[in-house]
């Protein structure tokens, strides 16, 4: 495969054309890379990736609240050099991404104006007007990046990448959308690129012109007033002329964050055409990203000459051994990223990053799956995400595992969640779990309805309840009518909708069902009792932006702050603003939430000692909670007992 061939960036040779894209991680208190960082990146090096890029490393903390990582003092070199050493042991290269700041994207507080190119509104606090950087401050930032690059080289990093994309500080200088300056750092393209070009010169002065230097930049924003591709091409030529060795192409800004950081809703290779346009204009290598995680998609992108290198971000967090599995020809063993962005969401909530479908992602060493100390039999009731993950982990530990599923197939809530064409990554993940479970030594019994009597008579050592949830049916007049359909059944194609559809419920399931129904219906309306749709959706901002855009683009109408009072054969009545209103429709789809299937729990919790309940059987939540609870339920079986006995 072309993607597995060696390739060069400047004088640097990579073992393959796969690069781990930059993603921010949390540091130790002093800004150094932590032991957790080192373990995380080393695991990806073991997986065979050609080069690892760090997330943005700050080159100063004078004008912005301290970033996740810093590199401007000698002691910052120590941990970075250890990380480089460990990465090199496995044949991977290390590229440190450096940037002078995030500018108007700074999330500090609603009282302190951040710095930017000009006096433009701060992104997170629009009522704050940014403070424009003074010339002397810009010159300080230029020199700070050059100095930090020299420290990266001293730490034995193989390359540096300049952070100049995505609506962050340097990109704010690049674009007239945010750069309103009239001095030498504004005006025409040459002026707007001066800050970046000066930094390139500073890096070259400190590291030498042969030291591999990559610039990640945004040639197209896709926003009114943002950078257009024609100007982005001119930027590429100017950067090439400045002596950079490769261009890492990005798209979008925080206003359309889903273009920058892919969500589940984006199509494959959604940034590739932008990269291809840049590649046609320059002679230096181009790196592309954006849902290139399917090996066949990545290979085609390189074979067709649209990019030279493939950057994988969240897919590398999900499965660090992507490259090794492609080499071995076992691509069906790749754990797919599902685009949920829980990794970003957890970080933005101040928590440690993690992955929804890889509980050991950024937990390397924290949660080992150890062989069982004694043989035990484990029964798992329910074959959704939680149950399958529990069965896989328990079997991996060496327990005798049996899983009962009442349906004729495994998957649970993953099946309707992954049924729409715009959510096929969920189905890929479901298939992955089913296949991995089939390769394990667990016994799976389908069409097996569990009863408390049979569970007790089977006499298993451990019982794990993962029975999931079922749709909540609100007490509305006419809710049992023949024109009322369940959202899950509609998503899975078991029930069809007609031309004029009303969806009851504006949560995530409701709005996704509405978009799906609009593919065939003439009119779709979502009615939500709260003041807006998606208010209870616990997901990242880019996912929220995208599904709202899909609602708008598809023409789905929304009525909020409304309570359904009656469903008729060809109408629905609702109360809004203390007024009863009627809306004609021929199909009503119910998406009013879920309630746990916890009857078995109630029957067994006082009978079976240490009964384990996981996933939606506790309360309806997300894939993240289902997978992690399933993993840990099986991982710590007997652990607590062992600790207590040893005390």
Instruction: Give catalytic residues, as residue numbers.
Output: 168
DSSP letters, 28-50, are -TTSSPPHHHHHHHHHHHHTT-S
b vs e for 482-502, b when ≥16 Cβ sit within 10 Å of the residue's Cβ? ebbbbbbebbbeeeebeebbb
SS3 content of the chain, % helix, strand, coil (to 5): 35, 20, 45
Distance CA 217, CA 223 (A): 16
Helix orientation angle between 74-89 and 35-46, rounded to the nearest 10 degrees: 30
Structure tokens of 191?
């002026």
Tell me how crowded residue 213 is: count the other CB atoms within 10 A of its CB.
Answer: 27
Smallest Cα–Cα separation from 448: which of 467, 469, 472? Answer: 467
Q: Which token pair is 609?
A: 């000692």
H helix intervals, 518-598: 541-554
Contact 425, 441 (CB under 8 A): no
CB atoms closer than 10 angstroms to residue 457: 8
Integer CA distances (angstroms), 321 to 42, 78, 178, 225, 295, in order: 11, 27, 40, 41, 13
Is the separation of the CB atoms in 420 and 414 below 8 Å? no
- Going by the DSSP 8-state scheme, the letter that residue 55 receives in this structure is -
Q: Computed over its alpha carbons, how large is the radius of gyration of the chain?
A: 27
Alpha-carbon distance of 286 to 273, in angstroms, equals: 12
Contacts of 200 (CB under 8 A, 6+ apart): 162, 213, 215, 239, 242, 243, 244
- 587-590 and 484-486 as β-strands: parallel, antiparallel, unpaired? parallel
What are the structure tokens assigned to 604, written together? 């067994």
Query: For residues 124 and 11, what is the distance between their CA atoms, to the nearest angstrom?
Result: 41
- Kindly state the tokens that stand for 611: 């009964």
567 phi, psi to nearest 5 deg: -120, 125
| DSSP collapsed to 3 states, 219-287 | CCCCCCCCCCHHHHHHHHHHHHHCCCCEEEECCCCHHHHHHHCCCCCCCCCCCHHHHHHHHCCCCCCEE
* E strand intervals along 506-551: 523-527
């Amino acid at each position: 495969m072309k993607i597995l061939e060696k390739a060069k960036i400047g004088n640097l040779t990579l073992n393959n054309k796969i690069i781990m894209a930059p993603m921010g991680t949390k540091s130790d208190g002093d800004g150094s890379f932590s032991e957790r960082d080192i373990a995380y990146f080393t695991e990806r090096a073991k997986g065979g990736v050609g080069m690892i890029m760090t997330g943005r490393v700050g080159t100063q903390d004078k004008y912005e609240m301290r970033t996740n990582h810093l590199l401007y003092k000698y002691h910052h070199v120590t941990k970075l050099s250890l990380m480089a050493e460990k990465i090199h042991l496995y044949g991977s290269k290390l590229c440190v991404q450096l940037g002078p700041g995030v500018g108007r994207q700074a999330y500090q507080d609603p009282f302190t104006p951040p710095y930017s190119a000009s006096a433009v509104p701060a992104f997170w606090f629009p009522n704050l007007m940014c403070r424009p950087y003074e010339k002397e401050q810009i010159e300080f930032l230029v020199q700070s990046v050059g100095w930090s690059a020299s420290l990266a080289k001293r730490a034995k990093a193989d390359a540096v990448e300049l952070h100049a994309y995505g609506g962050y500080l340097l990109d704010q200088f690049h674009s007239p959308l945010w750069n309103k300056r009239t001095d030498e750092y504004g005006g025409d393209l040459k002026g707007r690129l001066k800050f970046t070009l000066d930094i390139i010169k500073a890096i070259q002065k400190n590291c030498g012109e042969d030291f591999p230097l990559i610039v990640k930049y945004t040639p197209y924003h896709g926003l009114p007033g943002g950078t257009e591709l024609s100007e982005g091409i001119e930027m590429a030529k100017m950067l090439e002329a400045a002596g950079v060795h490769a261009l890492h192409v990005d798209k979008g800004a925080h206003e359309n964050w889903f273009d920058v950081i892919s969500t589940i809703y984006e199509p494959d290779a959604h940034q590739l055409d932008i990269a291809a346009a840049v590649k046609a204009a320059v002679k230096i290598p181009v790196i592309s990203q954006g849902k290139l995680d399917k090996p066949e998609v990545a290979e085609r992108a390189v074979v067709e000459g649209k990019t030279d290198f493939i950057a994988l971000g969240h897919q590398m967090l999900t499965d660090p051994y992507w490259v090794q599995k492609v080499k071995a020809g076992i691509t069906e063993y790749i754990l797919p990223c599902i685009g949920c962005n829980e990794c970003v969401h957890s970080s933005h909530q101040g928590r440690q990053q993690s992955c929804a479908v890889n509980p050991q992602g950024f937990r390397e060493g924290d949660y080992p799956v150890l062989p069982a100390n004694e043989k035990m039999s484990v029964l798992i009731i329910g074959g959704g995400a939680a149950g399958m993950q529990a069965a896989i982990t328990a079997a991996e530990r060496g327990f005798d595992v049996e899983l009962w599923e009442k349906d004729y197939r495994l998957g649970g809530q993953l099946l309707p969640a992954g049924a729409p064409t715009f959510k096929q990554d969920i189905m890929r993940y479901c298939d992955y779990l089913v296949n991995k479970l089939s390769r394990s030594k667990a016994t799976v019994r389908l069409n097996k309805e569990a009863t408390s009597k049979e569970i007790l008579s089977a006499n298993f050592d451990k019982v794990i309840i993962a029975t999931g949830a079922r749709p909540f049916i609100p007490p509305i007049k006419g809710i049992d009518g023949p024109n009322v359909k369940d959202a899950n059944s509609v998503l899975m194609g078991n029930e069809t909708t007609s031309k004029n559809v009303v969806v009851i419920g504006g949560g995530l399931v409701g709005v996704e069902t509405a978009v799906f129904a609009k593919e065939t219906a003439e009119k779709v309306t979502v009615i939500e009792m709260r003041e807006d749709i998606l208010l209870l959706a616990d997901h990242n901002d880019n996912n929220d932006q995208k599904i709202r855009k899909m609602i708008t683009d598809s023409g789905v109408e929304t009525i909020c702050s409304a309570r359904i009072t009656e469903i008729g054969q060809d109408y629905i009545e609702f109360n809004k603003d203390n007024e009863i209103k009627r809306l004609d429709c021929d199909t009503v789809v119910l998406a009013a939430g879920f309630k746990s299937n916890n009857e078995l729990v109630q029957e067994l919790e006082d009978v079976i000692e240490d009964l384990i309940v996981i996933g939606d059987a506790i309360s309806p939540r997300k894939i993240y909670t289902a997978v992690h609870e399933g993993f840990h339920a099986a991982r710590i079986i007997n652990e607590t007992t062992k600790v207590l006995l040893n005390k």
